[in-house]
Structure 1
Amino acid sequence: MRNCVFAFLTLFAVMGSQAQTDSIQKNNFRKNEVKLNAIMLLFGAFEPSYEYNLSESSSVGMSLFVPFDDDNFDTNINYYISPYYRIFFGQKYAAGFFLEGFAMVNSIEHEYYNPSQGGNYNYWEKDVTDFALGFGLGGKWMTRGGFVFEVSGGIGRNLFNTNDSDYYDYSPIVGKFGFNLGFRF
């Protein structure tokens, strides 16, 4: 009987010490990340992001997109700000395959046409700000030193200005693509 009690107490002592070690290790993980979208930088746009890891399987973050070279980056986007939430399915802390839900405030330069007398059209450009909701997916890998590599993509839909026929080049669909390099600290 004493051997059973001793074995039982030893088992609980080992399990308790293991639980303490696991919780200490999880609390020591780095939770902040800064990243830069390398592909967009090559094409003439600056897209930094910040991400905070809430737990081993979820994080929140925000990215900012600003084009700086109109010759190489042929788009009508002025900027966007996009907060996001991610759920991870990997074995490592906040890494591996993920699903993402995002919101986006975007400003786009639209071509506006107005018919005039004689069948001609008056043309001008107008900045339109809109709000989109969307989802995405991707993968994140991290080295022991804290360097982060991430590939992601997403699609969303603008919620306002979608039925305005005055905008010639307006599309209610928005997209995000990232080939991000960064550091977790």
Structure 2
Amino acid sequence: MKKITFFLLTFLVFAQSFSQDNVNSTNTDSQNFNELKLNGLFLIAGAIEVSYEKTLNEESGVGVSIFLPFDDEVKDDINYYLSPYYRFYFGTKYASGFFLEGFGMLNSVNEYYFSSNNNDIITEKNSITDFALGIGLGGKWVTNSGFIGELNLGFGRNLFGDYNDESLEFVGKAGITLGYRF
């Protein structure tokens, strides 16, 4: 069984590598691009968010963002998130302009419980991991040399957590993003 699985995986890898079309690199209307982006808004706030996006065609792209805090105040609220997304573009240039986004978000947040006992305040911290679904919108501008500027905003709702703090049921994404298309 292991030999059959190994053979099938090897065959699929080689079949995929030989099935690539030879695309003219000067025709940008028929080429898919990779994009790396950094969210400047979160850098100011004390976290880093890096995104990778692959354009599928002139109207759509898929990507993933990862958020990691480095400031202690941000770490007190959120531990991380990993957010895959799909975007549909309405611009005249290739995969740019106004877009609508659907996203998922695997996130980990901290919930605090406060209680008092004989005038002593006791604080308990509980880390909760959940998955959210959401929608967003924004705009992307791309220069001829491949530099990207992007603004986006999105909201979603966690699906599985049982929260005492109702504000933790909802998630948000926002960005003032700079990047490069290659």
Please give the range of the TM-score, normalised by the shorter of the 2 chains: 0.7 to 0.9
CA distance in 2, matches of 1:120, 1:168: 22
Correspondence for 1:67:
69
Do the aligned partners of 2:132 and 2:159 also contact (CA within 8 Å) in 1? yes
Do the aligned partners of 2:140 and 2:151 also contact (CA within 8 Å) in 1? yes
CA distance in 2, matches of 1:129, 1:97: 32
Matches within 5 A, 1:11-160: 24-27=27-30, 29=31, 31-71=33-73, 73=74, 76-113=77-114, 122-160=122-160
1:184 counterpart = 2:181: yes
Q: CA RMSD in A?
A: 2.5
Deviations 1:56-114 (A, max 9, x none): 0000000001110124x476011000000000000000000000000000000110246
User: Which has the higher Rg, Structure 1 or Structure 2?
Assistant: 1
Q: With structure 1 as the length reference, what TM-score do the two structures score?
A: 0.77
Q: With structure 2 as the length reference, what TM-score do the two structures score?
A: 0.78
Correspondence for 2:10:
none
Name the SS for the 1:171 alignment partner. Answer: helix
When residues 87 and 65 of structure 1 are mapped into structure 2, their CA distance, relative to the original with a 3 A threshold, is same
Do the aligned partners of 2:34 and 2:55 also contact (CA within 8 Å) in 1? yes
Do the aligned partners of 2:32 and 2:57 also contact (CA within 8 Å) in 1? no
When residues 75 and 144 of structure 1 are mapped into structure 2, their CA distance, relative to the original with a 3 A threshold, is farther
Do the aligned partners of 2:88 and 2:100 also contact (CA within 8 Å) in 1? yes
- 1:160 Cα shift? 1.1
Name stretches of at least 5 consecutive residues in structure 2 with no aligned partner.
1-23
CA distance in 2, matches of 1:142, 1:125: 43
**Which portions of structure 1, spanning 4 or more consecutive aligned residues, are displaced by more than 4 angstroms?**
113-116, 118-122
Which amino acid counterpart does residue 52 of structure 2 have in structure 1?
Y
Name stretches of at least 5 consecutive residues in structure 1 with no aligned partner.
1-20
Aligned length in residues: 158
- 1:168 Cα shift? 4.3
